[in-house]
A and B are shown apart, each in its own frame.
Chain A
Amino acid sequence: MDLVRDVLDKQVRDRQGRKMGKVDGIVLELREDAPPRVAFLEIGPMTLARRLAPWLGRLAQAIEIGLDVGDGCPLRLTLAQAREIGIEVIVDIDAERTRAWAWEQWLGRNVIARIPGSGARS
């Protein structure tokens, strides 16, 4: 498997097929006397922004902490959680038990719900 070609930037879906985001980054673990292995797949704006420029990553992290969207850590998945890796990555977890939708929920609560007709339950 070619990590960059086959895993990085692919759509991630949970076990019910719901969209969790894209594989925004891959964390490798370097080991002595053994080839590096994949520690985590990361999902989140911070990881994504860091790939474009390190300062953007720090900015995204600061915003996330400042607005209390999350604790400044991206969502981390392991390869073992992946059930299928094709043109999409299907993972064997429930999206709502993770922080995959932290921004979605924060914006829904703090912005969208304040506009009439949004369908949000208050």
Chain B
Amino acid sequence: MKKLLHVVLGVVTSIGGFVEVGSISTSAQAGASFRFRLVWSLAVATVCLMFLIEMSGRLAAVSKHTLADAVRERFGVNFDVIPLSAEAVLDVLVLAAELGGVAIALHLMTGVPARWLVLPAAIAVWLLLWLGTFGMIENGLGLLGLVTLAFVVAAFRLGLPWREVGAGLVPSLPADHRASYGFMAVSILGATISPYMLNFYASGAVEEKWKESDLPMNRITAGIGMGFGSVVSFGVLAVAALTLQPAGIQVDGYEQAALTLVPAFGRWGVPVFAAALAVGCFGAALEVAVNLAFAMAQAFGWNWDKNQKPAEDARFSLVYTLAILIAVAPILAGVDPLRLTLVSMAITVMVLPFVVMPFLVLMNDEHYVGRHRNGRLGNAVVAFVVVMGFVLALVAVPLEIMGS
């Protein structure tokens, strides 16, 4: 039973972290513009994420410390201000984008303007955290998350061209729109490898008191959980490739993305899309908000427990409350959630090296992980993410800011 809960944690982290506004929109854009030519980017990002999630679980199980804990302790506060403030800014931006995503989903269902629907979305997120029921509904969220499999079902109904999918696993430059192709490849990486997932997952592991004997389970959880997320992302890409690309429709808003399920599900297409978007974004919003509180509490050594009454961990509760209040503002002011998503993915890519680099040191420090240090492969993957982050930040972010 406990083992099952482990895997549930992985799948929940994955639904909240993988199947969210950033991944859905980038996957849809990638499929609509380049069919299956960017499948490799999704595959590379997924493998990197599996490795990073496994490491963050291993760090938690062996040292009983999360990434945010350990970075403060190992590198000191003068270093930690950089990743910590970067993560704070990023988390609030991502939270705004996710709340915007929920609002759009509600808009698709009701027709009420999205900017007003952000309020009920934000209140619901806050209430679940405030009343201490997030822990209870976490597993329910995992079940609800199965609705996102609708994309995969739709892809199969439409008939996947397996040969083309296979060819997409090898990077190949298209004849034209090369800049946009490179930019999409970057966006997929940025949307997939979300820093908040690492700390959220580790915090769950510490709360559940994982031990060294849980390490094999951790490996399976990271694999299955992130695998689940990537299959859904692939489903989004595939339905966009199969429905929008032949019609020459580009995705520049959620209205187009919502059409992707219509050929497979008819009049249920748009409601199913809205439900999947709502569940994914809502889960992500909960995770990001609580993760910011985790990160602050762990960096400063406060009590943290998402199931305690707010009166018992005042500082922790205050952090997520403020984060939600701030995140609501841009959406209420009328900022386009899709635009916010793009900006937050660009910032993710910039922040990534600062979050992941300390990881490389910690996962090789026997004070923290004892004999469970990283092997060469694990180190190579982390190093790859760091280098990629730097290159992407230098090349892609200016493009993203100018181009989009």
State whether the Cβ of B130 lies closer than 8 Å to any Cβ in chain A.
yes
Query: Of A87, A103, A115, which one neighbours B315 at CB under 8 angstroms?
Result: A103
| 8 A Cβ contacts from B307-358 to A | 309-315, 317-318, 321
A84 is an interface residue with CB less than 8 A from chain B: no
Q: Is B172 an interface residue (CB 8 A)?
A: no
Expressed in whole angstroms, the minimum distance between the Cβ of B93 and any Cβ of chain A is 23
Cβ-defined contact, B311 with A112, below 8 A: yes
Interface majority SS (helix, strand, loop, mixed), chain B: helix
Q: Assuming the A-B contacts A22-B301, A107-B318, are A9 and B311 also in contact, with contact meaning beta carbons closer than 8 angstroms in the complex?
A: no
Q: Enumerate chain B residues within 8 angstroms of A119, measured Cβ to Cβ.
A: 132, 309-312
Q: Which B residues from 270 to 302 make CB contacts under 8 A with A?
A: 300-302
Q: A87-B65, A112-B318, A119-B311 are in contact. Are A9 and B302 (CB under 8 A)?
A: no
The answer to whether A117 and B73 touch across the interface, beta carbons within 8 angstroms, is no
Residues 42-59 of chain A, each 1 if its beta carbon lies under 8 Å from chain B, else 0: 010000100110000000
Residue B76 contacts which of A9, A108, A118, A120 (CB distance < 8 angstroms)?
Answer: A9
Which residues of the partner chain B approach A24 to less than 8 Å between Cβ atoms? 77
How large, as a class, is the contact surface on chain A? 20 to 34
B220-264 residues at the A interface, CB under 8 angstroms: none
Asked if B315 contacts A107 (CB within 8 A), the reply is: yes
A104 interface neighbour in B69, B73, B314, Cβ under 8 Å = B314
Residue contacts A-B, CB under 8 angstroms, 11 given: A9-B76, A11-B69, A11-B301, A19-B303, A48-B77, A108-B311, A112-B311, A112-B314, A117-B127, A117-B131, A117-B310
Going nearest first, the 4 A-B pairs with the smallest beta carbon separation are A119-B309, A120-B311, A108-B314, A22-B301
Q: List residues of B whose CB falls within 8 A of some A CB.
A: 63, 65, 69, 72-78, 80-81, 127, 130-132, 300-303, 309-315, 317-318, 321, 367-368
